[in-house]
Amino acid sequence: MKYDISSFPRGVELLRNSLLNKDTAFTDEERETFGLEGLVPPRVFSQEIQLMRVKENLNRKTSDIEKYIFLTALQDRNEALFTRLVMENLEELLPIIYTPTVGRACIEYAHIYRRPRGFYFATKYKGKFRRILDNWPQKDVRAIVVTDGERILGLGDLGANGMGIPIGKLALYTVCGGIHPAYCLPVVIDVGTENDELLKDPLYIGMQHRRWRGEKYYRLIDEFMCAVKDKYPHVLVQFEDFGNENAFILLERYRDKMCVFNDDIQGTAAVALGGIYSALRITKKPLTEQKFLFLGAGEAGIGIGRLLVEALKQEGLKEEEARLRCWYVDSKGLIVKGRNDLNPRKQEFAHDHPPVGDFISAIKKIKPTAIIGVCGQKGAFTEEALKTMAKINDRPIIFSLSNPTEKSECTAYEAYFYTKGKAIFASGSPFPPVYLEGKTYISGQGNNVYIFPGIGLATVAFMIKKVPDVFFLEAAKVLSQQVSKQDLDGGRIFPGLSNIRKVSLEIATRVSELAYEMGLCKLPRPNSIKDHLKSLMYDPRYEVYV
């Protein structure tokens, strides 16, 4: 992004602008030009020395939540330095700025609140959304991540405290996808909360009333979407951590009208499918011979199942045959025809089968090649479940995808130990390597960060009109292709995070090519899509302003 220095803020105002601030790295000429002399220490430092300082101070923090607060303060002060720090220490810092620490940060958000970040559309502003949107200082927003805080990770209703999620996701858009932070807008739509602790908390930052429901709720969301479309006609809107029912309804309501997607439904599906493709490179078995048993039938589970059906259809199965490869267990047992308590989404995957009351029995009856945990119940993949999977499969696929870590269906150690090292394991939150009988197992983290930054980069770069499901199917294939033979030999089915920008670029390239084939791009096609995308990716190294 090129700046017009004639319109630059000066003095203290420049130092308080996180997008432009370089702190002690302003050159002598810049200090004189922008009225900074005397406002910062006289010595000019390089960004590399600044990185040494912030890393040293970060390492002094004794808890992950303290590190989160420190990094948030750095981001509020200096976006470029924050981004470069995270980029160069991604394996270490991703769990701090996002899962699992962001979950704890959201729980405590009102108590660790320091300064405003993001935009709050609250019920008290009903009828004013378009007007107050003009209060946002950036005139060219290309990517919005929005939540209403009803289902934050596996932690439930956190109301306006859920702002930590859009902030974290958009930081990853920049770090992993190269989208300039000036283009990013984190949003909470504050419709109240059902969390009694928050309603009683004198420090809670949101509206202290019960959640709006029904038509009143949907009219408010409509007002938000209309305001966004009017002010930012080319923007991508990513829905994040809405309640199950609203998540599906809102996706269907807007997917053909605007450029939107739901990361919990579609992003999770793509990363899971990418992991399955990689796992099959290890087992050497085709997708059409797999049988999947899901524990949990909410946004993530149904989203994965739907994308699997599309993938199986591409492999030659008819739709009904493809659906028969996906089975679900919810709180009432196996989802089968004849149950009268199923919503329409569960009915899509209800098959003819006698009732089965529990997960272990379902494994023994269905004999899946893969179990996928999306229920948010710690320990739901029990010792018996894991041993049963190892008994009926040479290489059982075990995906424990619930976040944060304390909600994971099993740990990496449990998966490898109870299957005697046979499991092909992936989890939603990171686990350390497992050392077992002289062998080291490095599990994959099925994090949506492998998917949504690449999708976002494509849509921002070429002003894509909408985001069809086929984008996520192709993204899953590209993701699997980025897993090296060395990764697979070590049991790892996702690429290392050190390669995340390359992964995002490859996904963005394929999605952009597909978007042009489908006539979805508003901008002319460049000679080289990949080169154009690469040229747009944000470089956090400081620019020289004068």
- What CATH code would you report for 5-93? 1.20.1370.30
Query: How much is the pTM?
Result: 0.96
The residues pairing with 185 across neighbouring beta strands, listed in sequence order, are 144
Q: Is the peptide bond before 404 cis (omega within 30 degrees of 0)?
A: yes
Among the listed residues 334, 322, 320, the one whose alpha carbon sits nearest the alpha carbon of residue 289 = 322
- What CATH code would you report for 266-449? 3.40.50.720
The enclosing H or E element of 231 equals helix 214-231
Q: Are 178 and 221 in contact (CB under 8 A)?
A: no
Cα separation, 241 vs 457, in Å, equals 21
Spot the catalytic one: 22, 67, 169, 466.
169
At 462-495, the pLDDT tens digits run: 999 999 999 999 999 999 999 999 999 888 999 9
Average pLDDT rounded to a whole number, residues 334-344: 93
The answer, yes or no, to whether residue 174 has pLDDT greater than 70, is yes
Angle at 253 between CA 479 and CA 106, to 5 degrees: 65
**pLDDT band at residue 2, thresholds of 50, 70 and 90?**
low
Among the listed residues 270, 264, 265, the one whose alpha carbon sits nearest the alpha carbon of residue 311 = 270
At 64-86, the pLDDT tens digits run: 999 999 999 999 999 999 999 99
Q: Which amino acid is at 228?
A: V
Tokens of 99: 């899962």
What percent of the chain is modeled with pLDDT above 90?
A: 93
Domain boundaries, the chain: 5-93, 96-254, 266-449
At 282-300, the pLDDT tens digits run: 999 999 999 999 999 999 9
At 248-269, the pLDDT tens digits run: 999 999 999 999 999 999 999 9
Whether 5-93 and 266-449 share one fold: the answer is no
At 413-466, the pLDDT tens digits run: 999 999 999 999 999 988 999 999 999 999 989 999 999 999 999 999 999 999
Ordered alpha helix ranges (H), 353-484:
359-366, 383-392, 412-418, 452-462, 469-481
Spot the catalytic one: 67, 68, 98, 441.
98
Q: What class is the 96-254 domain? A: alpha beta
| 231 catalytic per annotation | no
Q: What is the mean pLDDT of the chain?
A: 96
Cα→Cα distances 91→97, 300, 419, 457, 484, Å: 11, 24, 27, 21, 18
At 395-408, the pLDDT tens digits run: 999 999 998 888 99
| 169 catalytic per annotation | yes
Contacts of 310 (CB under 8 A, 6+ apart): 322, 469, 470, 473
Question: What per-residue confidence (pLDDT) applies to 1?
Answer: 59
